[in-house]
Amino acid sequence: MDEDQGTMNTPAAPYKRTPVFDETSLPMALRREHCTKAGTWGIIRVLSGRVRYEILDPPSEEFLDALHPGLVRPEQPHLVEPLGAMRMQVEFYTEMPDIASAGCPG
């Protein structure tokens, strides 16, 4: 029996994480239009509170919280806005992460 056939695909692991930001420490660069570089995916993890995640192209808006992370696509212009007190972190990946199985914040 070939042992390789019995292996399961595991979700991609982030290669980098930002520090945990709150509503006062969130950098202006993240509050303004910005994008990840080619081939870089991200997950916005809200640890507490709420964040407005605005995707500029194509235009859309999501409200993120601890149960609803946000997927950041490569080179897609976006910004985030704290909605009151919050704590958040961004994880970076070299391939599209499985946002459902990438784990809960913590």
The answer, yes or no, to whether residue 2 has pLDDT greater than 90, is: no
**79 three-class SS:** strand
Give the helix ranges, DSSP H, for the chain: 28-31
Write down the architecture of domain 11-93 according to CATH.
Answer: Sandwich (2.60)
> Where are the domains positioned within the chain?
11-93
Window from 3-12, 16-25, 55-64, 74-83 with minimum mean pLDDT: 3-12
pLDDT at 35: 96
List strand residue ranges (DSSP E) for 1-106, in order: 16-17, 21-22, 41-48, 51-56, 59-64, 70-72, 78-82, 87-93
